[in-house]
Chain A
């Protein structure tokens, strides 16, 4: 029986290490992550940061694509309400996230795998707290491992 392994997943050895895709806003959370670095604040190395110009730029397709391609969780970091560089990009992000959370629940994807946080450029410490907390929660959940129906199909056809 062929194993259900996704192409994008590296072969895992040793204990499970969560892979979390993080979309950080250029004007706040990305700078906060920078600040965490220059302040020598250590946080879990499990996030892969993608810099976007605004949390409002994070298309729900990006989130689903990340999860479908092997991410165990997705984190979005945006500016606090009222602080958006583009006036209301973060509100748009919030509106989409509210509905997407209900949809992820219906897909059977646990709540702790997806998170939106407001983190200003001055809050390096919050980056550390949020990332560490999320990594621990996802670690406890284990790998997401969305099934690959096409492979299941090949198996059933055999």
Chain B
């Protein structure tokens, strides 16, 4: 093998969209491969866990891990890659903040299994068979990863050096990140590799945002014919741009879609969802308590709206669990 820097890609609880962000480099990936050796990339290349285990500790320059941590196998792979790598990057919203899979923290393992293996309309499971971590059949022993009660962010499980935000990160971000790591000019540990300002700052519709923004009605995208050059919030659409980190080149806005917050918070924010809710709710245009309630009732599913990508990273990362009887 050459002495080019070694890079690993791995996926945990994610949809594969982050892998797309790398694949979307298209022919530019050849330039990247000219600079680095890929030693692990399950979605595209045939390397095995034992190949990584055989490598010396710290011999991988950087591991890009996407996805949240849902199973024991994902945690084991995260620990393995941490041991073998100089840098570990949480790649994408799920690894950074928990992402869409993190919304499962409104339920626990038992409730999820009950739904999946008992209650869905297409399930026929009279014996209530559940996956077992270890099962024996015909003299063979089969094992499956364990399923945690809670979805975790990557940083809750291993030490993370840098974060690449986004659902998914834009195609230029993996290339930029590799360039940054190879440049030797490293930002401080823990940095989120995107501008530390709100999306509104780089929004092409910025100039149409009124100085004082107040809403009599919150509208959902299907309820309004959206003007293509006017601030979405000013049109009544819930756009989380004011609370969300920039760096995505306002791609959703370019597609006439409101920001849903996948780049997460800026560095001054402790809890993304609380801050996003605060920004959106406080512009309800009324000083009458009943009317305020009526206006704000139009916000559908506030938890799903404001914590869409960040529940496991929030101050209260999961639904309240049953209180153990006077433990």
Contacts and interface: CB of A to CB of B under 8 A. Distances in A.
Interface of A: 3-4, 59-61, 63-65, 67-68, 81, 88, 91-92, 94-96, 98-100, 102-103, 106-109, 142-147, 149-150, 152-153, 156-157
Contact of B148 (A63, A88, A153): A153
Nearest to A82: B287
Contact of B150 (A61, A63, A96, A149): A149
A88 B287 CA distance: 8
B323 A145 contact: yes
Given A95-B281, A96-B278, A98-B292, A107 B316 contact: yes
Interface in B152-166: 152, 156-157
B206 interface: no
Q: How large is the interface on B (under 10, 10 to 19, 20 to 34, 35 or more residues)?
A: 35 or more
A131 to B, nearest CB: 22
A145 B327 CA distance: 11
B204 interface: no
B320 A156 contact: no
Q: Which 3 A-B pairs have the closest CB atoms?
A: A108-B320, A60-B274, A147-B321
> In the complex, which of the residues B72, B270, B316, B324 has the most CB atoms of chain A within 10 Å of its own CB atom?
B316
Contacts of B314: 64
Given A149-B318, A153-B156, A156-B149, A99 B299 contact: yes
A102 B302 contact: yes
A29 to B, nearest CB: 17
Contacts of A108: 319-320
B41 interface: no
A68 to B, nearest CB: 4
Given A100-B277, A106-B319, A108-B320, A94 B289 contact: yes
Contacts of B157: 153
A111 to B, nearest CB: 13
Given A149-B152, A149-B156, 13 more contacts: A3-B327, A59-B275, A59-B278, A60-B271, A60-B274, A60-B275, A67-B315, A91-B286, A94-B292, A99-B277, A103-B306, A106-B302, A152-B149
B236 interface: no
Contact of B303 (A63, A68, A106): A106
Contacts of B105: 149
B152 A95 contact: no
